[in-house]
Structure 1
Amino acid sequence: MHQIRPAAERGHTQLSWLHSYHSFSFGSYLDPRFQGFSHLRVINEDRVAPGAGFATHGHRDMEIISYVRRGTLAHQDSLGTREEIAAGEFQLMRAGTGIRHSEFNASAHEPVHFMQIWIEPAQRGLPPSYQQRGFGAYEGLQAIATPDGAAGTLQIAQDVTLYRWQGGALDYRLDAGRWLYLQLLEGDLSGPALRLSAGDGLQWRQPVTLALQGRGEALLFDLPAA
């Protein structure tokens, strides 16, 4: 019915300038049990030292979401985009036919902490594009990215809806033919025979009505069944 991905079992990359935790196989970290979930391919929790970052590199045919939790992330890409992503803001970069970009900590003094998420698009060869948006504090579930970009959400090229949960009750109905992945960013969540702590992930593959209680913050992905 469901599976918990404990925070302590995630992959870990530690460099002089980067601490990164991988919920799924990524780079040199390989776990045959966790190669992705539906179209969700990457959830990395990254902390980048002041003034450091990821040098220019390329991607194709991937929807890449960054959520800055603390600090400011500086972004440049081959579309000519030059932006700073502040804490609380989300970025969605569509790699499509090909894009090159760099991501750096904009501060020379404070680390930046952000989530990096990769989702496979429904169609390959789309034109590359860039979106960035801030979402204010909200108690409960708040839609962040949707297939149609309705109500000011980021528009993602896949049948996926991404929500952010902040504090209070988390009530969610997962319909038949859908899978759910929940990544708890901070705090705790609990329900019948279920308890999550910061950094844990929750996979659910059957219809369910979740009724969880807790405090903190999480990302919830409603995905098509694989």
Structure 2
Amino acid sequence: MPGKVVVRPSEERGYANHGWLDTHHTFSFANYYDPNYEEFGALRVINEDIVQPQKGFGTHSHREFEIFSYIISGELEHKDSMGNLEILKRGDVQFTTAGTGISHSEHNVHKTLPVHFLQIWVKPDNPKLSPAYHTKTFSESAKENKLVRIISPDKKHVPDTIGIHTDFHMYASLLDQGAKVTHKVQGNANDGDNKRKLYIHVIEKEGMKVLINGESLLKHGDGAFITEAISGDEIIFESVGNRTAEFVIFDLV
């Protein structure tokens, strides 16, 4: 089996319910701290957030990280110190290079429905980048029984992605019951040190289940660390739950 797989069950994540915010933390964040889960390569934060109607995060500051939101359902208003104001919906990925410093707010503008999204933080190779903002929409059809690449360090050669400033790739899929999809590990197989890491996260929706290489089972909200993967390895994902499985893959050094 390519690489070593360690499953992180959903219930082992950090958790808090603030009334207006229901949140799970894959890595140490806010009041949740676990020295075993502080980061994974350049990946520092995966928060799965559900924000109630007409509620949100007030204006706050970020610096050095690249921060992006993957919208699962609902409507999220983003407003920042660079003058950007946008309402994000399902399929949208909003990406901010915080660099030398930005401020922003995130607010659920819907009157009756919650917004459900992933917020991810990644450490770029250069923490002192100029602040920047990008949004891109990825259709349902692009994800259906396929892996769509969302973020890439080589936007010049992968123009349909959002560019990031480190060796980090993000993919997403909507996998029908019984369907399979294969991910080929990134990197140059001819390099001397071609070992890579992957993290897989299954969206927190009841009934979603994903089997990795026929052996490791992830249910909704679960994640998996894959280490010692080699560039060019093929990893097979199969949807084995009672509904279409939505999951994301992070492929990094």
- Give the TM-score range, shorter chain: over 0.9
Post-superposition Cα deviations, 1:124-157, rounded to whole Å, max 9, x if no partner, equal 2111011001111222100001112223211111
Residue 148 (str. 1) matches residue 177 (str. 2) = no
- Measured in 2, the distance between the counterparts of 1:128 and 1:177 equals 31
- Measured in 2, the distance between the counterparts of 1:192 and 1:169 equals 10
Report the equivalent of 2:102.
99
Equivalent residues of 2:5, 2:216 under 8 A apart: no
**Shift of residue 108 of structure 1?**
1.9
Equivalent residues in 2 for 1:9-158 (5 A)?
9-137=12-140, 138-139=143-144, 140-149=146-155, 150-158=158-166
Report the equivalent of 2:172.
164
**Shift of residue 210 of structure 1?**
1.5
Equivalent residues of 2:65, 2:123 under 8 A apart: yes
**Shift of residue 193 of structure 1?**
2.5
Count residues in correspondence: 224
Residue 219 (str. 1) matches residue 228 (str. 2) = no
Amino acid in structure 1 at the alignment position of 2:236: A
Q: Name the one with the larger strand percent.
A: 1
Q: With structure 2 as the length reference, what TM-score do the two structures score?
A: 0.85
**Shift of residue 170 of structure 1?**
2.6
Q: With structure 1 as the length reference, what TM-score do the two structures score?
A: 0.95
Equivalent residues of 2:70, 2:93 under 8 A apart: yes
Report the equivalent of 1:206.
228
Equivalent residues of 1:49, 1:111 under 8 A apart: yes
- Measured in 2, the distance between the counterparts of 1:74 and 1:173 equals 35
Amino acid in structure 2 at the alignment position of 1:151: P
Equivalent residues of 2:182, 2:235 under 8 A apart: yes
Where in structure 2 are there 5+ consecutive unaligned residues? 187-193
Amino acid in structure 1 at the alignment position of 2:210: L
Name the SS of the counterpart of 2:183 in structure 1.
Answer: strand
The Cα RMSD (Å) is 1.2
Percent of pairs identical after alignment?
Answer: 38
Runs of 4+ in 1 over 4 A off after TM superposition: none
Amino acid in structure 1 at the alignment position of 2:97: R
Report the equivalent of 2:189.
none
Name the SS of the counterpart of 1:68 in structure 2.
Answer: strand
Equivalent residues of 1:2, 1:204 under 8 A apart: yes
Amino acid in structure 1 at the alignment position of 2:245: G
Equivalent residues of 1:174, 1:206 under 8 A apart: no
Report the equivalent of 1:178.
196
**Shift of residue 87 of structure 1?**
1.3
